[in-house]
Amino acid sequence: MKNFYFLLFVLSCISIELSSSFDNDIRIKSDAIEFLEKNNQINFLNNVEINSDFVNIKADSAVYDDIKDMISILGKPSTIESSKEDNSFNGNAEEIIFFNNEKIHLIGNASMKYENISISSNIIIFNPRTGKISSE
């Protein structure tokens, strides 16, 4: 019965804060939320917005995986931009994997603009704190 009340609580929320091993709180808003207890996951559906101290992301859907401690974000495309004025970047991709504020992967038709540099690749690995970009 305890799980039922927790599930009702989660489903009634339109915004959740996560702060597991992520360095700072992650705020996620969406139109609908599903809690998958068996998989230790939370699905965020429709009009997803993810905000942290370093990034703002908009997407169609996202999955927080408590076991892997990561957020997988899907969209056509998903967009990411800096939330810091002194560290300007923006980009988009079909999928964004948000591990923490130090490691973000943009996957599938990925493009990113950081200051005066524009890159595009199938995979872009990015550190939003330092601005370090690598591509595969």
Mean pLDDT by 10 residues, the chain (136 residues): 44 46 72 90 93 90 90 92 81 90 87 88 87 72
37-52 burial: b if 16+ Cβ within 10 Å, else e: eeeebbbbeeebebbb
Q: What's the CATH number where 56 sits?
A: 2.60.450.10
Question: What is the predicted pLDDT for the residue at 11?
Answer: 45
Question: What is the predicted pLDDT for the residue at 135?
Answer: 64
- What is the largest distance, in Å, between two alpha-carbon atoms of the chain? 55
- Cβ neighbours, 10 Å, residue 125: 18
In the chain, the number of structural domains is 1
What phi, psi does 52 have (nearest 5°)? -135, -175
Structure tokens at 105: 């992967």
Question: What is the predicted pLDDT for the residue at 126?
Answer: 85
What phi, psi does 37 have (nearest 5°)? -60, -40
Question: What is the predicted pLDDT for the residue at 98?
Answer: 87
What residue numbers bound the domain in which 69 lies? 2-135
